[in-house]
Chains A and B, each alone.
Chain A
């Protein structure tokens, strides 16, 4: 029998379960992703606290795959809308699809919580999502070295262009012509230093992380992209 008390928790998803209960998918600091049931949740004060994106301290017990939630403390809800909601759903969708159950990922937990809090404070989505994607890839073991040429071992030079292959890394690209999938060394070094100040760096990071995540996400498209407000999604460079 497992019994956990006041574990820092991020609510990823809830769905109605049986008569009056909620099935909750959550990411926790020390226990990883957990599925749990909260009985008598719908229409109750405790149930109202179990909103997606809420940060709280959860207690549960149980054995097997699904735990039973008991106490919920220190609830901090995030009521996000528009682009911020789409970005937060993107974070949740990546976690649900890429983080295995019961595998502790404390740095991903911390980054997801911080990112959602920043979105709640009105920070631009692109400057919140890129650091999260970077942490997620690194912690899942798919880290990208933005400071080194993966083939020659040389340091990335800011005035050179580089090609990117997700399974290998960056390689110096000497070809002239359309740099469709080549990236300037200056942007790669900025990403290596977590300096997302320039819009162009954020766009390069978005493309590289998207390509790095693709092989792990499989063919099913990310549904959170559909949530971008209809007006905002047209001609936008900075989609989640």
Chain B
């Protein structure tokens, strides 16, 4: 395969990129922005060679321990469990949370062959034993798989942690009940909180 065809094929590993899109990207990189192409190649190569998982929270990092775990200004009483590094980015960008994290890299899914072992829940138990947080926040997605995973972990660590909490789900900010689906309304009613 010639190098151009090779590049077009390689670009198609990206989500949402088909043959046409890969062709356009190839022409953009080779005809209009060779410097950008070199920077992209270098960045990709370095990232693939150097980035692994943090030994403590399993997020992506080029160090043995990630910046978030090294930051001793964070609150050691809080540990938040998420499905993917993208969830950490979302929570950090939103602000308001200053504890530590643990990334599962997925959720329990028997049909995909993902069980407790694949999510490395033994590492999570070690993390909980070392950090001894007052509260573990289960911030897996509000899908059936995310709920199953949260409940499984809640059972697993419930004996060791005083508070195991689940993030709230329900009416989004700015949302009007009239336009919200039934499942969300049921959850919102179940998760209601006291105002007095």
Contacts and interface: CB of A to CB of B under 8 A. Distances in A.
Contacts of A20: 16
A49 B183 contact: yes
Interface stretch (A139-147, A184-192, A222-230): A222-230
Contacts of A33: none
A81 B110 contact: no
A234 B102 CA distance: 26
Interface stretch (A89-97, A162-170, A195-203): A89-97
Q: Which of B155, B182, B184 gathers the greatest number of chain A CB atoms within 10 Å?
A: B155
Given A80-B144, A92-B111, A19 B15 contact: yes
Interface string A83-116: 0010001001100100000000000000000000
A15 interface: yes
A80 B109 CA distance: 14
Interface stretch (B28-36, B47-55, B146-154): B146-154
B170 interface: no
A229 B184 contact: no
B107 to A, nearest CB: 11
Interface string B101-116: 0000000111111111
A82 B144 CA distance: 12
A79 interface: yes
B181 A49 contact: yes
Contact of B151 (A49, A52, A77, A229): A229
Contacts of B143: 51
Interface string A9-22: 00011010011100
Size range of the chain A interface in the assembly: 20 to 34
A78 B181 CA distance: 14
Given A48-B183, A51-B143, A79-B147, A227 B15 contact: no
B19 interface: no
Contacts of B155: 82, 229-232
B156 interface: yes
B145 interface: yes
Q: Which of A48, A78, A79, A96 gathers the greatest number of chain B CB atoms within 10 Å?
A: A79
12 contacts: A48-B183, A77-B144, A77-B182, A81-B151, A82-B151, A85-B144, A85-B148, A92-B111, A93-B110, A223-B113, A226-B108, A229-B152
Interface of B: 15-16, 108-117, 143-145, 147-148, 151-152, 155-156, 181-184, 187
